[in-house]
Amino acid sequence: MSDILDQTRQAAAAPQREGQPTTAARPLPLAGVRVLDVSQVMAGPYSCMLLGDLGADVVKIEPPGTGDQTRGAMGFKMKGPDSMGFLNMNRNKRSLAINLKSEAGREVFYELVKSADILVENYRPGVMKKLKCDYETVRALNPRLVYVSISGFGQTGPWAGRPGFDLMAQAMSGVMSVTGHPGGPPVKAGVPVADIGCGLFATHAALAAYIGAKNTGEGQYIDASLFEAALAFSVWDISEYWGRGTQPIPLGTANRMSAPYQAVKSKDGYFVMGATNQKLWLQLCEVIGRPDLAADPRFATNPDRLANREVLIEELEKTFVTRTSDEWVEALLAAGIPAGTMYSYPEAFESEHGRHRQMRLDIDHPNEGKVSNIGFAVKLTGTPQQVRRPPPLLGQHSGEILNEIGLDASAVEDLAARGAFAP
Ligand SMILES: CC(C)(COP(=O)(O)OP(=O)(O)OC[C@H]1O[C@@H](n2cnc3c(N)ncnc32)[C@H](O)[C@@H]1OP(=O)(O)O)[C@@H](O)C(=O)NCCC(=O)NCCSC(=O)C(=O)O
């Protein structure tokens, strides 16, 4: 509590408003936009980090004591209290620790809502209503607000009340039914496609609705789910079912639309290649010295090659096992045929190209010294994104944020006495 009072007094002495970068010649596109990040774990925090990277003032509202559960309970422990996972989804944010279960905590929340443009939450459906922080309640305070709820399965329908993680979304969307090898045990996508995908869809919808609200003065409620994100990613797979009536099955690394397009065996392991159209197919036969395959009626067209994929790959691998993966990748690329090495994450991030594209950022952090973050996946060349703030400590900015909404030390003391900052 005395920390928050000190913070409030210091902030009052040096008032500042986040979101107006002074260093860039042009401000970031979302400078001056205020986002309330009322979220935990991945989908919500990731979405808000993207908005923060684009310049928004992201205020992360967390329960006192634990904060976002990913700080302590999930991910890999570091020197300080926060996990590496948390540190990778929360840069460019400020943290306000308030107890939304208390009347006093909610007063602060409602005050913040008045100046907010976008709110993102991803608690179990019903939690925000129980906290009296749901859309209907806050809309009355700020009709311009764009309010995004992220959940496992959406806010309506028979599964709406279920809690959900990426794994449930991958299983229940059908994604796992096309992942892995035919007849093998269940396999999920190695990375959380439903979570990150949902975060991306939520972000694009929030930005569109924000533009709409600027034009009309009216915000809206956005209902995003991990389940629907996973379904939305299933374009090729459901196309097979809707187009041909056959149920798509897992194909390992192969593709249901084209062949050859998969990982293939070489002299020293595997590499990936794709000759997905007729031009590339004929070039491939030429560069690997197999004119017989180009002339073989079993492989004449893409549908023929798909129908005979197993024997096609057997034939290709008879040649591919004569040289190393690196040799083939080089030879295929020289002929303009897409090919690549199968790297581990360290090899990919530390590759000359990964480094050139700045996909690892080393951020100065008060507890960790340097902390590594995944770099910006797209680069805005006119207004390059920056790490303006390291991931915040729990409640690090409580005082300055309270001060910004006009609360002085005595008001903060009163809130504290009424349980606003107690776990
Ligand atoms: C992820 C969850 C399963 C986690 O479930 P739980 O840990 O049981 O959390 P819940 O959401 O049910 O509830 C959170 C509780 O925190 C309380 N809460 C939250 N914020 C506050 C503040 N500021 N103050 C006081 N209390 C608070 C809230 O009232 C709830 O209290 P009580 O009601 O008293 O308990 C669920 O939140 C969920 O289904 N979320 C939607 C989908 C989603 O985003 N999934 C995670 C994606 S990440 C992922 O899948 C992956 O990484 O993999």
Comparing CA positions, the residue from 62, 57, 55 lying closest to residue 82 is 62
DSSP secondary structure letters along 15-75: ---TT--SSSSS--TTTT-EEEEE--TTHHHHHHHHHHHTT-EEEEEE-TTT-STTTTTSS
For residue 100 and ligand 1, the question of a CB distance below 6 A is answered with yes
CA of 199 to the centre of ligand 1 (A): 16
Asked if residue 262 lies in contact with residue 253, where contact means CB atoms within 8 angstroms, the answer is yes
What's the average model confidence in pLDDT over 6-30? 65
pLDDT band at 11 (very low <50, low <70, confident <90, very high): low
For residue 151 and ligand 1, the question of a CB distance below 6 A is answered with yes
CA of 123 to the centre of ligand 1 (A): 4
Q: Can you give the pLDDT at residue 75? A: 74
What's the average model confidence in pLDDT over 67-73? 93
pLDDT band at 14 (very low <50, low <70, confident <90, very high): low
CA–CA distance, 411 with 204 (Å, rounded to integer) = 38
Please identify, by atom number, the ligand 1 atom nearest to the C-alpha of residue 130.
Answer: 29
**Percent above pLDDT 70 for the chain:** 96
Q: Can you give the pLDDT at residue 21? A: 43
Please identify, by atom number, the ligand 1 atom nearest to the C-alpha of residue 70.
Answer: 52
Asked if pLDDT for residue 194 goes beyond 50, the answer is yes
Q: Can you give the pLDDT at residue 79? A: 87
Asked if pLDDT for residue 269 goes beyond 60, the answer is yes
Which class is 261-342 in CATH? Answer: alpha beta
- State residue 248 phi and psi, 5-degree precision: -65, 140
Q: Can you give the pLDDT at residue 134? A: 98
Q: Can you give the pLDDT at residue 1? A: 60
Q: Can you give the pLDDT at residue 76? A: 84
Asked if pLDDT for residue 16 goes beyond 50, the answer is no
Q: What are the residues facing 362 on neighbouring strands? A: 372
DSSP secondary structure letters along 141-187: T-TT-EEEEEESS-SSSTTTT----HHHHHHHHSGGGGSSSTT----
Which mutation among 127, 175, 227 tests ligand 1's pocket best, with the greatest number of atoms within 8 A of CB? Answer: 127
Cα Dmax for the chain? 86
What's the average model confidence in pLDDT over 88-107? 98
Please identify, by atom number, the ligand 1 atom nearest to the C-alpha of residue 152.
Answer: 42
Q: Please list the active-site residues.
A: 195
Q: Can you give the pLDDT at residue 6? A: 74
For residue 56 and ligand 1, the question of a CB distance below 6 A is answered with no
For residue 165 and ligand 1, the question of a CB distance below 6 A is answered with yes
Asked if pLDDT for residue 24 goes beyond 60, the answer is no
What's the average model confidence in pLDDT over 181-192? 96
CA–CA distance, 31 with 117 (Å, rounded to integer) = 12
pLDDT band at 183 (very low <50, low <70, confident <90, very high): very high
What's the average model confidence in pLDDT over 326-338? 98
Comparing CA positions, the residue from 200, 39, 42 lying closest to residue 119 is 39
Report the DSSP pairing between strands 220-225 and 146-151: parallel
Comparing CA positions, the residue from 112, 200, 186 lying closest to residue 148 is 200
pLDDT digits (tens, 9 = 90+) for 284-317: 999 999 999 999 999 999 999 999 999 999 999 9
Four-residue CA torsion sign, 415, 419, 420, 421: positive
Which mutation among 59, 74, 108, 124 tests ligand 1's pocket best, with the greatest number of atoms within 8 A of CB? Answer: 124
Asked if pLDDT for residue 84 goes beyond 90, the answer is yes
Asked if residue 268 lies in contact with residue 324, where contact means CB atoms within 8 angstroms, the answer is yes
Asked if pLDDT for residue 232 goes beyond 50, the answer is yes
Closest residue by CA, ligand 1 atom 32: 127
**Rg of the chain over CA atoms, in angstroms?**
26
User: Is 0.85 exceeded by the ipTM?
Assistant: yes
The predicted model scores a pTM of 0.94
For residue 114 and ligand 1, the question of a CB distance below 6 A is answered with no
Q: 30-39, 66-75, 90-99, 387-396 — which is least confidently predicted?
A: 66-75
Closest residue by CA, ligand 1 atom 41: 151
Please provide the average confidence, as pLDDT, over all residues in the chain.
95
Residue 421 tokens, joined: 């900052």
**Candidate CATH numbers 3.40.50.1700, 3.40.50.10540, 3.30.450.20, 3.20.20.80; the one for domain 2-233+356-417:** 3.40.50.10540
Asked if pLDDT for residue 370 goes beyond 60, the answer is yes
Structural domain boundaries of the chain? 2-233+356-417, 261-342
Q: Can you give the pLDDT at residue 289? A: 98
Q: 25-29, 221-225, 280-284 — which is least confidently predicted?
A: 25-29
Q: Can you give the pLDDT at residue 12? A: 66
Please identify, by atom number, the ligand 1 atom nearest to the C-alpha of residue 164.
Answer: 39
For residue 89 and ligand 1, the question of a CB distance below 6 A is answered with no
Closest residue by CA, ligand 1 atom 19: 63
